[in-house]
Structure 1
Amino acid sequence: MIFVLVIFLSSILAASVEAQSGKNFFEGKTITLFAGSSAGGGTDITARLIGRHMERYIPGNPRILVANKPGAGGMIAVNELYNRSKPDGLTMSTMNTGSLFGLATGNDALKFDLQKFIWVGQALDEAQTLYVRSATLYTSFEAIRKANKDGKQPKMGAQSLDHTSNVVVKIVEQILGLDFQVIPGYQGTPEILLDIERGALDGRSQGTGSLLGTRREWIEKRFIRLLVTSKNKRDSRLPEVPTIEELAPPGKKNLLSALYAAENIGRSIVLPPGVPVDRVKVLRDAFATMAQDPQFMKEADKIGLEVGLTRGEDMNRDIENTVRDKNLMEVYRKIMTAP
Structure 2
Amino acid sequence: MHKGLLVAAALWAGMASAALAEYPEKPVRIIVGYAAGGGTDLTARLVAEHLSRQLGQPVVIENRPGGGGVVGRQYVAASKPDGYTLLIDSSSFAGYPVFTASPLVDVQRDFEPLSLLNTNEVVLVADANSPFRNLAELAQYAKEHPGELNFASNGPGVTLLSLEAIKDRFDIDIVKVEYKSSSEAYVALLAGEVDLGIWNLSRIRNDVAAGKAIPVAVSGRIADDALKGIENASEVYGPGLVIASYNALYGPAGLPDEVESRLAEALQAIKAEPELQSQLAALDQEPVFSDAATLAERRDADIANWSAIAQKAGIAKQ
1:204 corresponds to which of 176, 197, 202 = 197
SS at match of 1:125: strand
List per-residue Cα deviations over 1:144-163 (Å, max 9, x = no partner): 653662532223123x32x1
Unpaired segments of 5 or more residues in structure 2? none
What aligned pairs does 1:22-41 form with structure 2 within 5 A after superposition? 22-24=23-25, 26=26, 29=27, 31-36=29-34, 38-41=35-38
Report how far residue 278 of structure 1 moved.
Answer: 3.8
SS at match of 2:147: coil
List per-residue Cα deviations over 1:85-110 (Å, max 9, x = no partner): 554534433334344455356x2253
Report how far residue 54 of structure 1 moved.
Answer: 2.6
Give the alignment's Cα RMSD to 1 decimal: 3.8
8 Å CA contact 1:121, 1:310 repeated in 2:
yes
2:153 corresponds to which of 139, 146, 157 = 157
2:39 corresponds to which of 39, 42, 55 = 42
Judged with a 3 Å threshold, the aligned counterparts in structure 2 of structure 1 residues 80 and 182 are, in CA distance, closer, same or farther, namely farther
Please give the alpha-carbon distance, in whole angstroms, between the structure 1 residues aligned to 2:196 and 2:17: 55
2:18 match: 16
List per-residue Cα deviations over 1:187-244 (Å, max 9, x = no partner): 5x445444445555544223xxx423x443123223221111223xx44334412122
Report how far residue 11 of structure 1 moved.
Answer: 4.9
2:277 equivalent to 1:297:
yes
Question: Which segment is superposed worse, 163-172 or 6-15?
Answer: 6-15
- Calculate percent identity across the aligned residue pairs: 16
1:146 match: 141
1:118 match: 112
- Partner letter of residue 229 of structure 1? V
- Partner letter of residue 43 of structure 1? T
Please give the alpha-carbon distance, in whole angstroms, between the structure 1 residues aligned to 2:13 and 2:84: 27
SS at match of 1:55: helix
Q: Moved runs in structure 1, 4+ residues, more than 6 A?
A: 2-10
Judged with a 3 Å threshold, the aligned counterparts in structure 2 of structure 1 residues 194 and 329 are, in CA distance, closer, same or farther, namely closer
2:219 equivalent to 1:219:
no
Calculate the TM-score normalised by the size of structure 2: 0.76
Unpaired segments of 5 or more residues in structure 1? none
1:236 corresponds to which of 214, 223, 236 = 223
List per-residue Cα deviations over 1:282-311 (Å, max 9, x = no partner): 333333322221110121223322122212
SS at match of 1:129: strand
SS at match of 1:124: strand
SS at match of 1:23: coil
Report how far residue 121 of structure 1 moved.
Answer: 0.9
Question: Which segment is superposed worse, 271-280 or 115-124?
Answer: 271-280
1:309 corresponds to which of 284, 289, 295 = 289
- Partner letter of residue 20 of structure 2? E
8 Å CA contact 2:165, 2:309 repeated in 1:
no
SS at match of 2:88: strand
Please give the alpha-carbon distance, in whole angstroms, between the structure 1 residues aligned to 2:301 and 2:195: 37
Judged with a 3 Å threshold, the aligned counterparts in structure 2 of structure 1 residues 321 and 129 are, in CA distance, closer, same or farther, namely closer
Please give the alpha-carbon distance, in whole angstroms, between the structure 2 residues aligned to 1:305 and 1:316: 20
- Partner letter of residue 224 of structure 1? A
Please give the alpha-carbon distance, in whole angstroms, between the structure 2 residues aligned to 1:144 and 1:259: 13
